[in-house]
Structure 1
Amino acid sequence: MESRHKIHVSERDNALQLSYPKISAGRTQFVLNLPDREQHEFWIVKTEIDPNELPIKEGRLNEDDPSIKIIDRWNIRDFKKGEKDREIVDLSPGKYVILYGRPDRLEFAKKATFTVEKN
């Protein structure tokens, strides 16, 4: 099934860059242009809290914390060489944080935020 939106994610000046800071609700495909770091994961988290206040303890995200909802996550090594697109994710209105880093050291993960608005 086709996506309604595409968000391109890249790394620049040691920070994540998104092609769109706001999109409408619906099916969204993330197109990754990130360094191939085998131990890194890409997370999409829905939350109303500041990205620097995410519930990270001892390097790991507390996935049971009620202030966050994990929408999707995957390991970068799951991509085939040169493949950058990932499955389409259905996003509802709200605020989101993208994390890109080692799953055991997420306090050092690169972060970016975006908003999904009602249609």
Structure 2
Amino acid sequence: MKFFLLLFLIGLLYAESFACSCKGNLDPFYKDNLKKYYYFTGKVIVTEEIEGDFPKRKYTLLITNNFNSEFVKDTFVVYSSKGSCGLKLEIGTEYILGATKEKESRVGVCLLHARVEEKKELISKLSNK
């Protein structure tokens, strides 16, 4: 019995763990992050659940402010994991977000994300950059 308990405890030490791995400083003003990521404010107007091997959420946002000169769209689609590293955004709510510059732009807990009313000072700084 002790052997199985010891074996179980050793197994816990070596078990694979799935968690968010946020690397680097993702502050918009850090080094060249404004070139690496899209930063914008937008109101969520459509959400869609996408099932599959890696379930995700698709959000369409009406852009209210963009902080990247090459980013000039009225609406923008972003994707987020349905897992613990993903975001669950609410329709009708306005957010400030950082998104990856990929074919399918992604948002998540490791990138800038907040309701607009929580980050007014940051939005002001980004607007005046």
Taking structure 2 as the reference length, the TM-score comes to 0.23
With structure 1 as the length reference, what TM-score do the two structures score? 0.24
| Structure holding more helix per residue | 2
Higher relative contact order (CA 8 A, sep 6+): 1
Q: Which has the larger radius of gyration?
A: 2
